[in-house]
A and B are shown apart, each in its own frame.
Chain A
């Protein structure tokens, strides 16, 4: 059973992650993690100290849990550039702050830190409204470029084919072919996936104004201490290889592409064909599992269909099952995940312990720590 410790500042509740039912949890590991999250309240997604929170929590976990692998995300600059009107100098300061937090973690932990930029942000220039179609358009809050299309009429498809903002309309079969799937893999794929052009974004679900959006980057930077990797799915085997000799941390620095990456790097493919990952669950999972995950995690799935009374993992957002084959599962030694990406850290990394913000649509609710494995801890 995976335990989730929910910390709402000076108040904690421990639940079974799968059912959400309260659980009494004690023991050296649960006590250690509960104490840690209680001491370190989350400052907020766009707070200037948000990435320092990641480094601080990760360093304390390194001290107390002694992991061999750490999966980290540094996302403050992604949230701030996306939703705050910043000057160029302010944007650069945010990005510099993220890399400073990564560098501090590396220096103080002694880990070999492999840094991946998840792709550059570009100005949100042109909102695109697809609500006038006969069919159903499904887009999500954190996916600017891709939408699912269901029950499209012939008129819809013709309209989209001539739409100046549309880069691609791909049928499910085309996506399956592109990523080598069979018909059975397409259950969570939309009937069509609509992609808009760079600088354009789908509006509909984002409450806040978007200032910057992800560029559909065909390549992303990977620090060259990992060696060359052809594709983001090759990061995982290279990390596992590096773990034979080093304690390793993978640091995903979100919203940063090759142009702003301050470290020596190689580029790797960030998708396949016309499809490039945006920073998000699909990209995290492709890196974690070492294989593309667009069939399960794409911007066009009708996520609300899973929102039922008996949905498992009620504190895990739109996830209703635990992904398998993640990198944490492949590591016999101790592993941790820390990040300011809600839900992703405990669902997508597979690490023994995950500590993450519990923020929803940038509202700061507190911190959630998930303990997947209690058997590796002997106390420290």
Chain B
């Protein structure tokens, strides 16, 4: 038996022993994927849907995922894929090599491949192979992650991905135990700092009124310490999975708490994950002008509306706006057309 070194659960693995995520085993004394190159789905979208608001704005991307997770979030939005036994899903998984996946992305005119259905640390070797081919083809790699990797796993994530959105879901040990199924937030805070040193990082916090909403100020203080330009996405929680019967949080109440917590501390604060949000535009940190406008369609559906930047600067006051990548979506041309 060995210990898995990918995530902080550090599960024992053996030839017939899998860990919490059920995606790795150790038939030859090393951590190996059980289901390499197997994908639950892929679809064409744009970076805002992930969400990435400050990385390659408007770029078309191929959204992919596998199955399995190392968390047990009570509100998981993808439980039907993520919480089931991966072995039982294999009959409907797509078997696509890294080369073929990159080819699909290029045929569809995508500028990026983004892993966003489940947790990327459960499929790291596959993603490393995809990244190697994608980078040769000039494609950007992005992901959503819960940030619970080991330092070694985090270094691998940082090497694979050009942009990462880390979910900072809560701070207290009680919240982590009851809502996420992990003992504490320490590894996540450590990994946000580590990833921000090596790649583009945005952070998302699903806000549950009365459960983690009192921690927003502390989260903002932490993120401001990482850097005031870290884009923070406060999400109104969409109650799914074990929380399906619970009330939707109040937009007005949570919005006020987000604004109060972040005022003067972070340059880019967004409040969305519900239709018609008015808090999805990027405001110039210098003068408050709306320099990037978006529409919010709720869960995974945000859209770029207009970019008013002069390069990466505010056209009114000239202040720099933190962006990774060219904001011109016209650069995404269809390779096959």
Contacting residues, chain B, for A208 (C-beta < 8 A): 80-81
A203 to B95, CA, bound (A): 11
A141 to B238, CA, bound (A): 21
> Which among B89, B96, B117, B305 is the interface contact of A20 at CB below 8 angstroms?
B305
Contacting residues, chain A, for B108 (C-beta < 8 A): 136, 302, 304
Whether B107 is near chain A, meaning CB under 8 Å from some CB there, is yes
Whether A67 is near chain B, meaning CB under 8 Å from some CB there, is no
Whether B77 is near chain A, meaning CB under 8 Å from some CB there, is yes
Whether B46 is near chain A, meaning CB under 8 Å from some CB there, is yes
**In residues 106-121 of chain B, which contact A (Cβ within 8 Å)?**
107-109, 117
Convert B31-65 into 0s and 1s, putting 1 for each residue whose CB lies closer than 8 angstroms to a CB of A.
Answer: 00000000011111110000000000010100001
Whether A325 is near chain B, meaning CB under 8 Å from some CB there, is no
Given contacts A6-B275, A309-B307, A365-B275, contact A11 B78 (CB under 8 A): no
Contact, CB under 8 Å: A314 / B275: no
Given contacts A22-B278, A136-B107, A136-B108, contact A9 B336 (CB under 8 A): no
Contact, CB under 8 Å: B297 / A315: yes
Given contacts A132-B100, A307-B60, contact A314 B297 (CB under 8 A): yes
Given contacts A13-B278, A150-B336, contact A131 B40 (CB under 8 A): no
Contact, CB under 8 Å: B336 / A360: no
**Do most interface residues of chain B lie in helix, strand or loop, or is the interface mixed?**
mixed
Contact, CB under 8 Å: A11 / B274: yes
> Which among A8, A205, A363 is the interface contact of B276 at CB below 8 angstroms?
A8
Convert A84-127 into 0s and 1s, putting 1 for each residue whose CB lies closer than 8 angstroms to a CB of B.
Answer: 00000000000000000000000000000000000000000001
A203 to B250, CA, bound (A): 37
Contacting residues, chain A, for B276 (C-beta < 8 A): 6, 8, 12-13, 15, 315
Contacting residues, chain A, for B41 (C-beta < 8 A): 203-207
Contact, CB under 8 Å: B43 / A13: no
Convert A361-377 into 0s and 1s, putting 1 for each residue whose CB lies closer than 8 angstroms to a CB of B.
Answer: 10111101000000000
> Which among A132, A209, A309, A366 is the interface contact of B80 at CB below 8 angstroms?
A209
> Which among B80, B104, B277, B307 is the interface contact of A131 at CB below 8 angstroms?
B104
Q: How many residues of chain A have a CB within 8 Å of chain B?
A: 46
Whether A308 is near chain B, meaning CB under 8 Å from some CB there, is yes
| B80 closest partner in A (C-beta) | A208
> Which among B89, B96, B299 is the interface contact of A365 at CB below 8 angstroms?
B299
**In residues 1-59 of chain B, which contact A (Cβ within 8 Å)?**
40-46, 58
Contacting residues, chain A, for B275 (C-beta < 8 A): 6-8, 13, 315, 358, 365-366, 368
Q: Which of A7, A8, A311, A361 has the most CB of B within 10 A?
A: A8
| B334 closest partner in A (C-beta) | A305
Whether A63 is near chain B, meaning CB under 8 Å from some CB there, is no
A8 to B275, CA, bound (A): 6
| B88 closest partner in A (C-beta) | A209
Contacting residues, chain B, for A24 (C-beta < 8 A): none
Contacting residues, chain B, for A83 (C-beta < 8 A): 80
Whether B246 is near chain A, meaning CB under 8 Å from some CB there, is no
Whether A187 is near chain B, meaning CB under 8 Å from some CB there, is no
A189 to B307, CA, bound (A): 32
Contact, CB under 8 Å: A204 / B298: no
A364 to B41, CA, bound (A): 21
Whether B155 is near chain A, meaning CB under 8 Å from some CB there, is no
Contacting residues, chain B, for A8 (C-beta < 8 A): 236, 248, 251, 274-276, 298
Contact, CB under 8 Å: B251 / A10: yes
Rounded to whole Å, the gap between the CB of A134 and the closest CB of chain B is 9
| B305 closest partner in A (C-beta) | A309
A44 to B299, CA, bound (A): 14
Rounded to whole Å, the gap between the CB of A362 and the closest CB of chain B is 9
A361 to B238, CA, bound (A): 13
> Which among A131, A132, A151, A314 is the interface contact of B295 at CB below 8 angstroms?
A314
Whether B256 is near chain A, meaning CB under 8 Å from some CB there, is no
Rounded to whole Å, the gap between the CB of A99 and the closest CB of chain B is 26
Whether B92 is near chain A, meaning CB under 8 Å from some CB there, is yes
Contacting residues, chain A, for B77 (C-beta < 8 A): 363
Contacting residues, chain A, for B78 (C-beta < 8 A): 207
| A364 closest partner in B (C-beta) | B238
Contacting residues, chain B, for A364 (C-beta < 8 A): 238
Whether B306 is near chain A, meaning CB under 8 Å from some CB there, is yes
Rounded to whole Å, the gap between the CB of A318 and the closest CB of chain B is 11
Contacting residues, chain A, for B89 (C-beta < 8 A): 209
A129 to B275, CA, bound (A): 34
Contacting residues, chain B, for A360 (C-beta < 8 A): 297-301
Contacting residues, chain B, for A309 (C-beta < 8 A): 58, 304-307, 329
Rounded to whole Å, the gap between the CB of B238 and the closest CB of chain A is 6
A141 to B117, CA, bound (A): 15
A8 to B336, CA, bound (A): 40
> Which among A136, A311, A363 is the interface contact of B336 at CB below 8 angstroms?
A136
Convert B76-110 into 0s and 1s, putting 1 for each residue whose CB lies closer than 8 angstroms to a CB of A.
Answer: 01101100000001011011100010001001110
| A368 closest partner in B (C-beta) | B275
Contact, CB under 8 Å: B94 / A203: yes
> Which among A205, A305, A366 is the interface contact of B298 at CB below 8 angstroms?
A366
Whether B211 is near chain A, meaning CB under 8 Å from some CB there, is no
> Which among B42, B301, B305 is the interface contact of A205 at CB below 8 angstroms?
B42
Rounded to whole Å, the gap between the CB of B172 and the closest CB of chain A is 27
Contact, CB under 8 Å: B252 / A10: yes
A75 to B276, CA, bound (A): 25
A363 to B329, CA, bound (A): 28
Q: Which of B91, B96, B275, B298 has the most CB of A within 10 A?
A: B275
Contacting residues, chain B, for A314 (C-beta < 8 A): 295, 297, 303, 305
A305 to B332, CA, bound (A): 11
Contacting residues, chain B, for A315 (C-beta < 8 A): 275-276, 295, 297
Rounded to whole Å, the gap between the CB of B36 and the closest CB of chain A is 16
Contact, CB under 8 Å: B336 / A151: yes
Whether B240 is near chain A, meaning CB under 8 Å from some CB there, is yes
A207 to B298, CA, bound (A): 17
Q: List 19 A-B contacts (CB under 8 A).
A: A8-B248, A8-B275, A8-B298, A11-B274, A136-B107, A136-B336, A151-B336, A204-B42, A208-B80, A304-B45, A304-B109, A309-B305, A309-B307, A314-B295, A314-B303, A358-B275, A363-B300, A366-B274, A368-B275
Kindly list the 3 A-B residue pairs having the minimum CB-CB distance in the complex, ordered from nearest. Answer: A13-B276, A365-B298, A6-B276
16 more A-B residue pairs beyond the given contacts A210-B92, A307-B45, A309-B306, with a C-beta to C-beta distance below 8 A: A8-B276, A13-B277, A131-B96, A136-B107, A136-B108, A141-B43, A151-B336, A207-B40, A207-B41, A309-B58, A309-B305, A311-B303, A314-B303, A360-B298, A364-B238, A368-B275
